[in-house]
């Protein structure tokens, strides 16, 4: 008779470390009561997904707020899907959002005492645990081929039984150890499966930090824990890594909820205390009236890079994601007149279990606030960086006259109610175009939006008067009085009150009059404060623009 001990030894002769030594190598962390140890554990299979940024923001914030540790683990066991370089990209993109791990995998070397933090470098640890499970009769080598598994599925379908490799269907769980070794020695490919003692007629309960108590059918499937390539599956790696890395709050996507009974089953078999789980809701999208998850294939906003290319400041996206994480955040920003995430009392419990719909307007709203509150130098630096990457004409303008751009960006800044012109850096070019003479010329060539019904003579006479009599270098009130006086000569009401009492008596209101001037100078009927704009463009260029427009009529 070959014992389980002997089987374990024959399968993994190279493994000499046992569970006790692993426990000692990775001792309980010395942290204050209530401190969370969280992690972000992506697979290096591509770009940073918006949902992943959301999850990592929550993991990071939960750890930081509680005086705990946030670490980064690279889950690179699916070698076929691994994309070279995406580990570095993920870490750099997260760093761009200020999410830098306290410990974990870094492309230039691990940091921390609980590593290695790259799963492919942890094979010996997984094997040591498996060796122990085999000794305890809680894991075994399995030889089922894909065809065998298909045949089992067919029988289950016919008998209307639950699908899966469990109980009597777990064909190889009762092979003798002699048979197992004979097959292995004959070169039959094998994997290792977990031997479940669960029962799918029973329920297991666990408390989710977001959703409260969750009750699910118990696991009884003998899941694969070690693949034929010698690497673990997600289920097993999660249990082993989060145990030895001493993670105490698992923040992961809600798609893992149905697998949690498998993980609890393994924690039980190993006699380990399971961590707390917080299953993070997915970010949703509305399509034809139906909610669905943001999709990598269909939605550009599923990739974080999309927001960076559009020029949203990282902080804008984080503030927006915080408003999804805790729905009371927006109320808090209004009450505190602040968008400082760090000052907000974030709470895991307050995360809504229902996935929020991605809301572009909300993102724009928050982003305008974030940009409006940004100090000028910071805003200028960000615009410059963005232009260097994505907007060559703007970069050239910045290079030529940085102070001119700064002056433009500074309009309505640093005051009680700062202007909220830009939601993203790609808004800057079109909004500031009229400050440049060549661009102004293009706008004029496309036609100026003067109100219909005004005769060419009227427009010409009015603008002529403005050209002769509009003062420069005065304060705003003096300038505006002069505009009113000019307007009055052409039939505009001198006050809004006069106009309201008797609109028929006038060509238009004071604002209609100012709009005429605005259209002539900037080419549009909207712009930041016109008096400031005139000051920036300067007398000579303003007069030249008036001449240009007058010549059209
Ligand atoms: N690598 C897994 C994923 O990308 C991690 C899930 C987890 O956080 O446990 O989905």
Question: Which protein residue has the closest C-alpha to ligand 1 atom 2?
Answer: 42
DSSP string, 249-278: EEEEEGGGGGGHHHHHHHHHHHTPPP-EEE
Judge if 4-15+123-280 and 441-550 fold alike in CATH terms.
no
For the sheet containing 139-142, what is the strand order? Answer: 139-142, 191-194, 224-226
- Which of 217-226, 244-253, 282-291, 399-408 has the weakest average pLDDT? 282-291
Q: How far is the CA of 52 from the centre of ligand 1 (A)?
A: 9
Q: How far is the CA of 234 from the centre of ligand 1 (A)?
A: 8
Phi, psi of 488 (to 5 degrees): -60, -35
Nearest residue to 474 via CA among 408, 553, 532: 532
In this predicted structure, what is the pLDDT of residue 507? 95
pTM: 0.92
Give the dihedral of Cα atoms 211, 217, 218, 222; nearest 10 deg. -120
**Which atom of ligand 1 is closest in space to residue 252's alpha carbon?**
8
Q: For a substitution probing ligand 1, which of 248, 252, 258, 274 has the most ligand atoms within 8 Å of its CB?
A: 252
In this predicted structure, what is the pLDDT of residue 423? 98
* pLDDT tens string 5-36: 999 999 999 999 999 999 999 999 999 999 99
- Sign of the alpha-carbon dihedral angle for 527, 532, 534, 536: negative
Whether 41 lines ligand 1, by a CB cut-off of 6 Å, is yes
Query: Do 289 and 296 contact (CB within 8 A), yes or no?
Result: no
Whether 118 lines ligand 1, by a CB cut-off of 6 Å, is no
Please name the fold of domain 441-550: Arc Repressor Mutant, subunit A (1.10.10)
Please name the fold of domain 287-372: 1.10.1160
Query: Do 459 and 552 contact (CB within 8 A), yes or no?
Result: no
* pLDDT tens string 476-485: 999 999 999 9
Q: How far is the CA of 172 from the centre of ligand 1 (A)?
A: 29
* pLDDT tens string 337-362: 999 999 999 999 999 999 999 999 99
| Annotated domain spans of the chain | 4-15+123-280, 31-121, 287-372, 376-435, 441-550
Q: Are strands 103-104 and 69-72 parallel, antiparallel or unpaired?
A: parallel
- What are the C-alpha distances in Å from 1 to residues 10, 43, 176, 177, 195? 14, 42, 9, 8, 20
Question: Which protein residue has the closest C-alpha to ligand 1 atom 7?
Answer: 252
Q: For a substitution probing ligand 1, which of 39, 41, 57, 280 has the most ligand atoms within 8 Å of its CB?
A: 41
**Which atom of ligand 1 is closest in space to residue 75's alpha carbon?**
1
Buried b (16+ CB within 10 A) or exposed e, 168-199: ebbbbbebebeebbebbeeeeebbbbbbbebe
* pLDDT tens string 158-204: 999 999 999 999 999 999 999 999 999 999 999 999 999 999 999 99
Superfamily of domain 31-121: HUPs (3.40.50.620)
Q: For a substitution probing ligand 1, which of 234, 248, 255, 263 has the most ligand atoms within 8 Å of its CB?
A: 234
For the sheet containing 276-280, what is the strand order? Answer: 212-217, 203-208, 276-280, 249-253
CATH 3.30.310.50 applies to domain 4-15+123-280: no
Whether 238 lines ligand 1, by a CB cut-off of 6 Å, is yes
């Amino acid at each position: 008779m070959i014992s389980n001990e002997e089987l374990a030894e024959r399968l993994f002769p190279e493994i000499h470390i046992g569970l006790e030594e692993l426990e000692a190598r990775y001792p309980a962390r010395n942290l204050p009561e209530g401190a969370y140890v969280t992690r972000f554990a992506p697979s290096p299979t591509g770009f940073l997904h918006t949902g992943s940024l959301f999850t990592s923001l929550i993991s990071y914030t939960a750890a930081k707020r509680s005086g705990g540790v946030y670490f980064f683990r690279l889950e690179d066991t699916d070698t076929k899907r691994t994309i070279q370089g995406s580990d570095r990209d993920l870490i750099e993109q997260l760093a761009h959002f200020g999410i830098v791990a306290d410990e974990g995998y870094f492309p230039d070397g691990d940091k921390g005492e609980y590593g290695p933090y790259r799963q492919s470098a942890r094979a010996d640890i997984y094997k040591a645990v498996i060796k122990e499970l085999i000794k305890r009769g809680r894991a075994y080598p399995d030889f089922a081929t894909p065809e065998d598994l298909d045949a089992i599925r067919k029988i289950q379908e016919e008998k209307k039984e639950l699908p899966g490799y469990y109980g009597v269907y777990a064909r190889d769980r009762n092979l003798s150890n002699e048979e197992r070794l004979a097959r292995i020695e004959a070169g039959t490919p094998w994997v290792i499966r977990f031997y479940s003692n669960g029962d799918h007629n029973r329920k297991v309960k666990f408390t989710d930090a977001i959703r409260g108590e969750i009750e699910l059918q118990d696991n009884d499937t003998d899941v694969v824990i070690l693949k034929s390539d010698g690497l673990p599956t997600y289920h097993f790696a999660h249990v082993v890594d989060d145990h030895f890395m001493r993670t105490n709050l698992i923040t992961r996507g809600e798609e893992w909820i149905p697998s949690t009974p498998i993980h609890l089953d393994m924690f039980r078999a190993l006699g380990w205390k399971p961590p707390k789980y917080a299953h993070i809701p997915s970010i949703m999208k509305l399509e034809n009236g139906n909610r669905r998850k943001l999709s990598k294939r269909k939605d550009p906003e599923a990739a974080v890079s999309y927001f960076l290319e559009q020029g949203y400041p990282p902080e804008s996206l984080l503030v927006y994601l915080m408003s999804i994480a805790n729905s009371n955040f927006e109320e808090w920003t209004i009450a505190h007149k602040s968008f400082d995430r760090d000052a907000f009392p974030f709470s895991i419990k307050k995360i809504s279990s229902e996935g929020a719909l991605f809301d572009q307007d909300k993102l724009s709203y928050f982003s305008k606030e974030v940009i409006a509150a940004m100090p000028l130098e910071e805003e200028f630096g960000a615009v410059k960086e963005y232009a260097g990457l994505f907007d060559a004409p703007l970069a050239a303008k910045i290079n030529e006259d940085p102070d001119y751009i700064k002056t433009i960006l500074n309009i309505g800044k640093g005051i009680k109610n700062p202007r909220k012109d830009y939601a993203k850096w790609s808004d800057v070019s079109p909004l500031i175009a009229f400050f440049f003479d060549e661009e102004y010329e293009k706008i004029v060539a496309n036609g100026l939006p003067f109100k219909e019904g005004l005769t060419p003579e009227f427009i010409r006479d009015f603008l002529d008067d403005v050209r002769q009599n509009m003062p420069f270098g005065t304060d705003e009130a003096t300038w505006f009085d002069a505009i009113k006086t000019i307007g009055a000569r052409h039939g505009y009401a001198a006050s809004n009150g006069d106009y309201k009492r008797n609109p028929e008596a006038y060509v238009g209101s004071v604002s209609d009059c100012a709009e005429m001037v605005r259209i002539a100078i900037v080419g549009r009927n909207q712009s930041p404060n016109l008096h400031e704009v005139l000051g920036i463009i300067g007398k000579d260029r303003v007069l030249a623009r008036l001449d240009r427009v007058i010549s059209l009529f």
